[in-house]
Amino acid sequence: MFEDILITIATAATPLLIAAVGEVVVERSGVLNLGVEGMMVMGAVTGFGVALTTGSPWLGVVAAIIVGMLFSLLFGFLTLTLVTNQVATGLALTLLGLGLSGMLGEGFVGLPGIKMSYLHIPYLTDVPYIGRLFFGQDPLFYVSILLTAGVAWFLFRSRAGLTLRSIGDNHTSAHALGIKVIGIRYLAVMFGGACAGLAGAYLSLIYTPQWIENMTAGRGWIALALVVFASWRPWRVLAGAYLFGAVSIGQLHAQALGVGVPSQLLSSLPYLATVVVLVLISRNRRLTMVNTPASLGRPFVPDR
């Protein structure tokens, strides 16, 4: 029973984690892409459709990643090359994604989907109490943990990560050092898009293997909030994603048990927690300075 609850929490947390870790990389490079929800829902519809037509959930995952990247490339072209406002463009991306996915997925509504099979290692998975938790989950769960570790290592241990953070801190200085600001931001934006697409595929291939319009249901926004909640640090994103996952599962259980807490209050908890964290970190100027990408959302036009 306890193991079951932990696994459902992991299932709720994984899509948040994947999308938010991707967005950490984007924002660390100084770009604010508010289109996570839109890229996620496009990933969900693509993953579902491709898996259904080909019969392979893995092909669905790959297609979702590609579509997420293409969508983010559109965002990148608008904000980085044409220097449009990042906030407005990100919101437009979300609206576009929600509308387009609804149209593309019209024929999929109500069809039974293909569920990705769970990992099963003989003996290990069958260990009582912890076997399924560690060795019997869906493959993307493991991907999400590796992704977090990889991004944490990349950002704070690798030279390329240092370059990326330097651009997020001060793009003018980075340009003066000869760093290709725009090129690296394109790569970061596309990585974020790929992660959002993957997170979307998780929803339509694992979480609830079917297509429902707007099935992301605000998870893209929670992922965005998580990034701030975690002060742009991957391992804190993981902690936050599991915390929010636990809250949303707890909310279901609470409703089932008829506990008198309004569900609206519970579903607003992630956002409330984000506000509290923002207040707490802004109390310490130094912490804010170290963790917040200083040029976040600011357009970069090289002085010619």
Instruction: Tell me which residues touch other proteins (CB under 8 A).
Output: 157-159, 162-163, 165-166, 169-170, 172-180, 286, 289-294, 302-304
Q: Is the CB of 107 or the CB of 302 nearer to other proteins?
A: 302
Which of 8, 200, 213 has the alpha carbon at shortest distance from 103? 213
Minimum CB–partner distance for residue 111 and other proteins (Å): 49
Minimum CB–partner distance for residue 183 and other proteins (Å): 11
Q: Is the CB of 176 or the CB of 252 nearer to other proteins?
A: 176
Q: Is the CB of 275 or the CB of 287 nearer to other proteins?
A: 287
- Please write down the HEC assignment for all residues of the chain: CHHHHHHHHHHHHHHHHHHHHHHHHHHHCCCCCCCHHHHHHHHHHHHHHHHHHHCCHHHHHHHHHHHHHHHHHHHHHHHHHCCCCHHHHHHHHHHHHHHHHHHHCHHHCCCCCCCCCCCCCCCCCCCCCCHHHHHCCCHHHHHHHHHHHHHHHHHHHCHHHHHHHHHHHCHHHHHHCCCCHHHHHHHHHHHHHHHHHHHHHHHHHHHCCCCCCCCCCCHHHHHHHHHHHCCCCHHHHHHHHHHHHHHHHHHHHHHHHCCCCCHHHHHCHHHHHHHHHHHHHHHCHHHHHHHCCCCCCCCCCCCC
Q: Is the CB of 146 or the CB of 162 nearer to other proteins?
A: 162
Minimum CB–partner distance for residue 281 and other proteins (Å): 13
| CA–CA separation, 39 and 45 (whole Å) | 10
Q: Is the CB of 115 or the CB of 175 nearer to other proteins?
A: 175
- Integer CA distances (angstroms), 61 to 21, 57, 139, 140, 260, in order: 17, 6, 11, 10, 40
Q: Is the CB of 132 or the CB of 171 nearer to other proteins?
A: 171
Q: Is the CB of 27 or the CB of 37 nearer to other proteins?
A: 27
Q: Is the CB of 257 or the CB of 301 nearer to other proteins?
A: 301
Minimum CB–partner distance for residue 25 and other proteins (Å): 16
Minimum CB–partner distance for residue 290 and other proteins (Å): 5
